[in-house]
Amino acid sequence: MRILVLGGDGYCGWATALHLSQRGHDVGILDSLIRRDWDRQLKIASLTPICGIERRIARWHELTGHSIDLYVADMCNHEALETAMVRFAPDAVVHFGEQRSAPYSMIGRKEAVFTQVNNVVGTLNLLYVIHEKLPDCHLVKLGTMGEYGTPNIDIEEGYLTITHKGRTDTLLYPKQPGSYYHLSKVHDSHNIHFACRIWGLRATDLNQGVVYGVHTPETTMDRTLVNRLDYDGIFGTVLNRFCIQAAIGHPLTVYGRGGQCRGFLDIRDTVRCVELALLNPAKAGEFRVLNQFTEQFTVNDLAQKVRQAGTEMGLDVEIENVPNPRVEKEEHYYHAANTKLLELGLKPHCLSQSLLDSLLNVAIDYKDRVDENMIPPRVSWRSCAPVFQ
């Protein structure tokens, strides 16, 4: 297939682009490169050093012989997006091209507005380009399990069948997002669902859990190809942060009581899930929803696992509960379905001792690059004042 990866310079996008290219697909990347600007503006950085996108793509070609086309464009610029899409003429589009941080969206009014406009308008522009220029193109959009929130009933895959006053219907599952970022993803889902109904587009919404890890087989081929490992209080993910904290002797910072439960998956499973969705496309007019995670853990579960792995490696690992900057339930019911990707052939990488050892070893290898000032939470859900000047 010809596959265009939107946001292909980012954490999930880069790993996905290489994975698909290695498997013989013609791959293009469209990215505004704004993620690199945010690093400079917020004074944060990936633990692993990231080369420029042109150098990354050139090195990939040198190593494998596979070419990746690059389009530097903002999805909110409809003309630029349309020009790139028509030129590349994809059979499928993988949509990672959004501001993906809940904390960033909660810094203040400017960041909340930017997140909503960037994500919702960019996706609307994409839907119109597909409808008007590439109506057979399959849209695979990265959603988030955070759209569902933490309801006191089981979370199904996208839809819920209900009976009300003697009548039964199947509806989109009710959404209770926990940030302006997650709310933007809900708007995306509704807009894509609407476009499938009225225009007959085909779309797969991958509601992804929290992704951990840095390596895929492709990104380990050369240091130029290494993926991001974010640990800061804005873009960092909890397990990556815990491993870096363990490596430098910093207490593992558990927000609140630590009973918050979420779905998690390995970055290697992220790229495989995307591939499975592409190889088994949605039908025309279908808005298909797949819950993309492999295991469920509480924050306390992860802290204990990292402490055990770190202790066995000779690290002195402590756990510290800190005030929760978010507004969320810290003890709650959480049981989500995730059978559809398994039925398509996913063979999950479960969180194991060896994987934790690998993450800890990466953190140790690069620990001289750690900036401890980046680790504490820097955004409060209860405050409307920007924390960055």
Q: d(Cα 228, Cα 45) in Å, to the nearest integer? A: 9
Tokens (6 digits) for 63: 């190593």
DSSP state of 174: P
Q: Which of 91, 69, 86, 96 is nearest to 6 (CA)?
A: 96
Q: Of 313, 267, 310, 314, which is closest to residue 292 (Cα–Cα)?
A: 267
Catalytic residue among 180, 181, 231, 366: 181
C-alpha count within 13 angstroms, C-beta hemisphere, residue 251: 9
| SS3 of residue 356 by DSSP | helix
**Would you say 99 and 181 are in contact if contact means Cβ atoms under 8 Å apart?**
yes
Name the catalytic one among 144, 204, 216, 219: 144
Residue type, 328: E
CB atoms within 10 A of CB 289: 23
> Is 185 assigned a catalytic role?
yes
Instruction: Quote the CA–CA distance of 68 and 31 in Å, as a whole number.
Output: 13
Packed helices 78-88 and 122-133: angle between N→C axes, nearest 10 degrees = 40
Q: Are 218 and 17 in contact (CB under 8 A)?
A: no
Nearest to 301 by CA among 212, 225, 362: 212
Among residues 71, 173, 185, 253, the one annotated as catalytic is 185
Do 284 and 199 form a contact (C-beta atoms < 8 A)? Answer: no
For the beta carbon of residue 239, count every other beta carbon within 10 angstroms: 24
DSSP sequence for 136-189:
TPEEEEEEEGGGT---SS-B-SSEEEEEETTEEEEEEPP---SSHHHHHHHHHH
- Residue 54 structure tokens: 């042109």
| Catalytic machinery residues | 144, 181, 185
